[in-house]
Structure 1
């Protein structure tokens, strides 16, 4: 069963909005002949097992329990999923296997597992199902998944907002649900927010017959990972529509670490979602990532800037990153720059830009050069170099 024509197409459909996700999967099963859906329900993990179901458009085909692995529901999913997909492939008769993820499972890790298996499986699409009316409530919800009963492991420390943001930004298809799962129907502002947050994805209504075919065109795991990497991420573009704005802030000067640290709370709360990359004057060789949702900010090192690498190391860097660096190249700083995006209804554009600009080095501070910058207060040591 090694020929390309005998490979089983596999598509992933995920998302925190369960009604939207189930509707999307149901529509795919109805419109794509030979399709079957697998779902691992992690809500029963506290009882020591993960419940697996397999169904097609006519109903349930089978069910079983997958034992926990290392007390981790997601590990159980990974251990059980591929064997089930291989069983379906070996049995023949199926054109498409839809992997319906449980609420808080993120598609990126599952996509990597399926793609790594290779033949006879072929990952052909990844979608997140979304109810637009629930966008703002989810993106502004800073509660831990555990508090909502959605944790995928005992030590799962993710929040609803950051999990939902990653579910939105990874796939190439957004399945848009109009079933009224929220207390109110979605409006133009909700759809504008969705469009601005997912610039590289195709948006298809869950009621459209085109949803299934959209998940059969193919999916490049390496390219998807590159779109998420802070150095070359596909970030939203400048926009202002239906009361929803995206501000793209790009500057060449480094941040003053002390002034930026003092402004973190205001900047984090300025928008429902903000992302990007930046550099600090006292850490000129470190590319830093900015990831904020639900009133919480994650700042992490994403490795060195390209300009800080020896020329011989450039060939070992993915092509997408080399291209991104060349587009941003500055004769003095190389690819070092500030590139942050803020997306939200009711965004205070002028106030945000003023605050961001105030955190940059002044003319006098900038003139001191890298030797002087390294003497500035190291305000981010606790965030970036925590003591174990």
Structure 2
């Protein structure tokens, strides 16, 4: 029997997030909200709301960053709330700057130490993610998701608005969409959402009945599970046909990319595309896969860990059986499980141009036949900066390199 306290995460950069969180209030439920507007000054405003009261605390942090907020306050708070007899459910109303995937990864993996009466360990010892609900504004979301506007100009936060809003929807188990778009805009938006968050029940309202929406979340929902770059890219059963110019493209290749040509080809993923995500085999990096993610005009490149063929037998045994089974289906005698696989969600781009640019970035027959030359090529993907507070990183992936096209 799972005695952990259920945790519902409510996220959204725009949309009725406050109403959605408040709609979940009932006896035994506490709504937690961290206001990060003054985080750069080292000040954090935390609100705990129940059906009977609202408690506001203003806290000072030694370092004003999101990682410190989670490590020093939010994660320990979740563990403490679990011990309260008056709390049987926690609703976490995320600040717009927080992404649910990073939060859920932190709940599962970041060790919380020093909580009185509890063994040191991650918050997942005491809470379990029951669902992630993302709220969006139907009038503005698609423009936000396909743009290249910085989230917090003039700060060290190099995320774009598109990267945040796309990530919030992609990780959702249920969606609340505040209506307002005309019929055509709504149809295009629905086509995008059906492919970005397949299977997630959707409510078109700014006054949501979230309890009813949560009852529709299927048993196969993610519920806070963070997948790595080697997991299946077509999660769920998204529509594969075209609607309103919106469609999913699949790209696969059993030979590596030329690093410089891939770097140049990436531009096709940053215009007319909502989302691109996948793993790449780059000739100059035979040991590790690269994770490529784009959202609108924002790009993220990160190490995705070693290929199975680069691991020792003991390391391979620690890899999930599903990954080993999928790798066995495409195993090559010379190159093992190395391959490239990308899924691209197009809304206003030429699919043939995208696929053509990616295919042109692969090694030619002559280059592929001369593997000794691969290590002599310049590699624009070879350097990665390290994030602040990396020892307590809240990212579900490795250190990243991001840039704007």
Q: TM-score range by the shorter chain?
A: 0.7 to 0.9
Shift of 1:118: 4.5
Distance 1:141 1:304 in 2: 32
Distance 1:119 1:351 in 2: 48
Q: Confirm or deny: 8 A CA contact 1:255 1:359 kept in the other structure.
A: yes
SS at match of 1:269: coil
In structure 1, the gaps of 5 or more residues are: none
Map of 2:151 onto structure 1: 145
SS at match of 2:349: coil
Q: Measured at CA, do residues 363 and 82 of structure 1 come closer, stay the same or move farther in structure 2, by a change above 3 Å?
A: closer
Map of 1:71 onto structure 2: 64
Map of 1:39 onto structure 2: 33
Shift of 1:320: 4.1
Instruction: State the TM-score, normalizing by the size of structure 1.
Output: 0.82
Q: Does 1:136 align with 2:142?
A: yes
Q: Confirm or deny: 8 A CA contact 2:174 2:217 kept in the other structure.
A: no
Q: Confirm or deny: 8 A CA contact 2:31 2:90 kept in the other structure.
A: yes
Q: Measured at CA, do residues 49 and 371 of structure 1 come closer, stay the same or move farther in structure 2, by a change above 3 Å?
A: same
Distance 2:80 2:360 in 1: 59
Q: Confirm or deny: 8 A CA contact 1:15 1:167 kept in the other structure.
A: yes
Q: Does 1:110 align with 2:103?
A: yes
Q: Confirm or deny: 8 A CA contact 2:272 2:348 kept in the other structure.
A: no
- Equivalent of residue 9 in structure 1, options 6, 10, 15: 6
Matched length: 366
Map of 2:176 onto structure 1: 176
Distance 1:320 1:280 in 2: 24
Shift of 1:179: 4.1
Q: Measured at CA, do residues 174 and 331 of structure 1 come closer, stay the same or move farther in structure 2, by a change above 3 Å?
A: farther
In structure 2, the gaps of 5 or more residues are: 109-121, 387-405
SS at match of 1:202: coil
1:1-388 to structure 2, matched below 5 A, reads: 4=2, 7-17=4-14, 19-29=15-25, 34-56=28-50, 58=51, 60-115=53-108, 116-118=122-124, 120-147=126-153, 155-171=156-172, 173-180=173-180, 187-199=186-198, 202-205=200-203, 206-207=208-209, 209-213=211-215, 224-225=225-226, 227=227, 229-235=228-234, 238-366=240-368, 368-375=369-376, 377-378=377-378, 380=379, 382-385=380-383
Instruction: State the TM-score, normalizing by the size of structure 2.
Output: 0.78
Shift of 1:285: 2.8
Q: Measured at CA, do residues 208 and 12 of structure 1 come closer, stay the same or move farther in structure 2, by a change above 3 Å?
A: closer
SS at match of 1:190: helix
Q: Confirm or deny: 8 A CA contact 1:11 1:215 kept in the other structure.
A: no
Q: Confirm or deny: 8 A CA contact 2:272 2:296 kept in the other structure.
A: no
**Where has structure 1 moved over 4 Å in runs of 4 or more?**
182-186, 212-221
Q: Measured at CA, do residues 208 and 224 of structure 1 come closer, stay the same or move farther in structure 2, by a change above 3 Å?
A: closer
SS at match of 1:272: strand
Shift of 1:92: 2.3
Q: Measured at CA, do residues 165 and 323 of structure 1 come closer, stay the same or move farther in structure 2, by a change above 3 Å?
A: farther
Shift of 1:40: 0.9
Distance 2:34 2:125 in 1: 22
Query: Deviations for 1:287-328, whole angstroms, at most 9, x for unmatched residues?
Result: 111111232322232222112223332112233432342344
Of Structure 1 and Structure 2, the greater helix share is in 1
SS at match of 2:292: strand
* Aligned Cα root-mean-square deviation (Å): 3.2
35-44 or 107-116: bigger deviation: 107-116
